Chains A and B, each alone.
Chain A
């Protein structure tokens, strides 16, 4: 009888651990995505920066300066670091602005605390990259009552709360999928026979769903374009490679690999090389995100195109705040400026890539 107990306890704790981990994973890629390469699942909350949200820069008499408070999620990926740097640079280098920056270390409670601090400091505008979609009503209402405009960056909040913020500045994942398809159709022509392998992102992530939808809608009316295989690669190189390896054993008649992020595309490139084919020539490779490694692969002729998912949102946030102060009406969704990079254009852009 006694022997049974440890097993039961162990099984129970296993299940609990799994549930705990699954929970962490969800919070990472929930919300309005924002970052393709961040598949969540970083069980550690990466306490890399120790700065407390309340320890904003010391207060100065902000006579004419516009004070902007920004509540960042954390520093969980290179994409987010690039966004942080962009914001710090944009406002730090502009004498007309003063930035109060807070790192929430992936915790909503820290972001809420930071926003309350900003309200108490009577800042002129608040920027927020919400870590999750829900639970913002109370604190954003407080900001609204205090007359402080709120701008959302790269991730949205629960629908039905549009009156609580001025604008959402971020990527249109559907458009990214369409742009990927557009490059491919330009490359092969409307009537070409093209077999496509699609490497999807993490199941359920909005970046994966929308990049898939945009791409598939764009080729829906072209009978020659067939997605012969579509499988998730969890936004990682290792999985992208493994999935591609397995499919190449079955069928090598592929013209295009469309990956929902550059990391999976880079994994697929390795699998294609090991199968004795030339990626970029025999099989065209399309990725999304625009990470530096993708530009290097394009320069090496192994990849064809990357559709940018721009984290450098600082300038657009600044413009939005200036427009708002000038009394202009802003779009509810300001789409981030994004480009499609291929060929010489990508090679030229490589030295300037920041992330």
Chain B
């Protein structure tokens, strides 16, 4: 018994446990209310079902949220990712008419990198507040994307390009592999290079880390650049999935979902320690919630309300103070 309690206490301290619990609760609810939610089929050589859709449609958000985790870890924020995504998608679809696929993908990623470096320059070199600095690109980014598309929704019929968002590998949608690749690369970058340690240190205490010989400016620039590239990748996936680029609507509000995913995942907005696994879990929770809402057939006018209530519950459960005020009333629990 004592071992079990100790185990429970250790689990509670794991940041990852909360988003995972939230997903489990949501899936349990679905199991009771909409059992057909879990139906899986093997169709045309690939898996087909809601769970696959959650992974597929969540992939762009996962990639964006990974980048967002890095900038939030340094007590920054990047609210321009949705606009950068729109630029990258628009550019890719526009160039597709006259350039080979590799050049198109390269252009999409490069424009993401440039946007990231621009944000990084404003924040790290010029010392502008991250929220304000990235607000600039949030606003003008959509304008740039509209310039590229000429105000139209650009369509493409290029099969190879559509494979990125719609194709299948080993029976699974291809975007899942891209998201997995981005996650693994970032994870290795965090654990196997000094960057991860430096980022946590610089995010935790900029002055102290500067005295310790870390150059926070370089670290911050790198974090924003990675976020920009992530947004570029997501832009290509999204435009490829619907075979079109919509400057006005592609990735609209995705920055808010990404920030939410990071926070649900246990990374503090105040910087310092960051949890990539938690971010993934948080993203999957948000996407699972969206798919469940569609599957459940919630009235269009109350979708946002339902989402808000669920998110509030999840955030409350995550709050140490809130939990302890509950537990304390029953039994005294050792402080963290």
- The 8 Å CB contact of A270, one of B49, B131, B242, is B242
Complex CA gap A352/B95 in Å reads 25
Chain B residues near A21: list those with CB within 8 A: 253
Shortest distance from the beta carbon of B284 to any chain A beta carbon, whole Å: 15
One of A54-62, A63-71, A132-140, A235-243 contacting the partner: A235-243
Q: Is the CB of B246 within 8 A of A236?
A: yes
Chain B residues near A78: list those with CB within 8 A: 150-153
Q: Is the CB of B155 within 8 A of A41?
A: no
Interface presence of B294 (CB below 8 A): yes
Q: Is the CB of B242 within 8 A of A267?
A: yes
Shortest distance from the beta carbon of A182 to any chain B beta carbon, whole Å: 24
Interface presence of A37 (CB below 8 A): yes
- The 8 Å CB contact of A249, one of B50, B83, B152, B269, is B50
Most buried by B among A6, A42, A230: A42
Chain B residues near A3: list those with CB within 8 A: 270
Q: Which of B251-299 contact A (CB under 8 A)?
A: 252-253, 256, 259, 269-270, 290-291, 294-295, 297
Q: Is the CB of A39 within 8 A of B269?
A: no
Interface presence of A38 (CB below 8 A): yes
Q: Is the CB of A17 within 8 A of B79?
A: yes
Chain A residues near B290: list those with CB within 8 A: 242
- Nearest residue (CB) in A for B147 is A48
Chain B residues near A10: list those with CB within 8 A: 77, 131, 269
Q: Is the CB of A245 within 8 A of B53?
A: yes
Chain A residues near B139: list those with CB within 8 A: 43-44
- The 8 Å CB contact of B297, one of A46, A75, A81, A229, is A229
Q: Is the CB of A44 within 8 A of B140?
A: yes
- The 8 Å CB contact of B256, one of A6, A18, A41, is A18
Shortest distance from the beta carbon of B137 to any chain A beta carbon, whole Å: 10
- Nearest residue (CB) in A for B140 is A44
Q: Is the CB of A6 within 8 A of B294?
A: no
- The 8 Å CB contact of B294, one of A17, A234, A237, A242, is A242
Shortest distance from the beta carbon of A16 to any chain B beta carbon, whole Å: 9
Q: Is the CB of B246 within 8 A of A237?
A: yes
Complex CA gap A73/B243 in Å reads 29
One of B5-13, B31-39, B186-194, B324-332 contacting the partner: B31-39
Q: Is the CB of B295 within 8 A of A249?
A: yes
Q: Is the CB of A249 within 8 A of B37?
A: yes
Interface presence of A51 (CB below 8 A): no
Interface presence of B200 (CB below 8 A): no
Interface residues on B, range: 35 or more
Chain A residues near B141: list those with CB within 8 A: 44
- Nearest residue (CB) in B for A79 is B151
Q: Is the CB of B36 within 8 A of A200?
A: no
Complex CA gap A18/B141 in Å reads 17
Shortest distance from the beta carbon of A348 to any chain B beta carbon, whole Å: 21
Interface presence of B74 (CB below 8 A): no
Q: Is the CB of B138 within 8 A of A43?
A: yes
- Nearest residue (CB) in B for A13 is B131
Most buried by B among A238, A243, A245, A247: A238
Complex CA gap A236/B152 in Å reads 13
Q: Mark B127-144, 1 if CB is under 8 A from A, else 0.
A: 000010001001111110
Chain A residues near B147: list those with CB within 8 A: 48
Complex CA gap A44/B146 in Å reads 9
Q: Mark A1-19, 1 if CB is under 8 A from B, else 0.
A: 0010011001001100110
- Nearest residue (CB) in B for A246 is B294
Q: Is the CB of A48 within 8 A of B75?
A: no
- Nearest residue (CB) in B for A276 is B43
- The 8 Å CB contact of A7, one of B43, B146, B270, is B270
Complex CA gap A24/B140 in Å reads 14
Q: Mark A71-97, 1 if CB is under 8 A from B, else 0.
A: 000011110110000000000000000
Chain B residues near A247: list those with CB within 8 A: 294-295
Chain A residues near B44: list those with CB within 8 A: 276
Given contacts A7-B270, A237-B153, A242-B294, contact A44 B142 (CB under 8 A): yes
Q: Mark B55-77, 1 if CB is under 8 A from A, else 0.
A: 00100000000000000000101
Interface presence of B166 (CB below 8 A): yes
Chain B residues near A340: list those with CB within 8 A: none
Interface presence of A263 (CB below 8 A): yes
Interface presence of A219 (CB below 8 A): no
Complex CA gap A81/B135 in Å reads 28
Q: Mark A150-187, 1 if CB is under 8 A from B, else 0.
A: 00000000000000000000000000000000000000
Shortest distance from the beta carbon of A287 to any chain B beta carbon, whole Å: 13
Interface presence of A224 (CB below 8 A): no
- Nearest residue (CB) in A for B239 is A238
Q: Is the CB of B270 within 8 A of A238?
A: no
Q: Is the CB of A17 within 8 A of B135?
A: yes
Complex CA gap A10/B268 in Å reads 12
Given contacts A77-B151, A81-B151, A293-B155, contact A7 B269 (CB under 8 A): yes
Interface presence of A52 (CB below 8 A): no
Interface presence of A328 (CB below 8 A): no
Complex CA gap A18/B252 in Å reads 12
Chain A residues near B201: list those with CB within 8 A: none
Known contacts A200-B300, A250-B34, then 10 further A-B pairs from the complex at CB < 8 Å, ordered by chain A residue:
A6-B270, A17-B79, A44-B139, A44-B141, A46-B143, A235-B249, A238-B249, A241-B241, A242-B53, A249-B295
Q: Which residues of A contact B (CB under 8 A)?
A: 3, 6-7, 10, 13-14, 17-18, 21, 37-39, 41-48, 75-78, 80-81, 200, 203-204, 229-232, 234-238, 241-243, 245-247, 249-250, 263, 266-267, 270, 274-276, 291, 293, 355
A-B contact pairs, 28 of them (CB 8 A): A3-B270, A6-B270, A41-B248, A41-B249, A42-B247, A44-B83, A44-B139, A44-B140, A44-B142, A44-B143, A48-B143, A76-B151, A77-B248, A229-B297, A231-B294, A236-B246, A236-B249, A237-B244, A238-B242, A238-B249, A238-B250, A250-B37, A266-B242, A267-B242, A270-B166, A274-B48, A293-B244, A355-B152
Q: Which 4 A-B pairs give the minimum distances between C-beta atoms? A: A246-B294, A232-B300, A44-B143, A44-B142
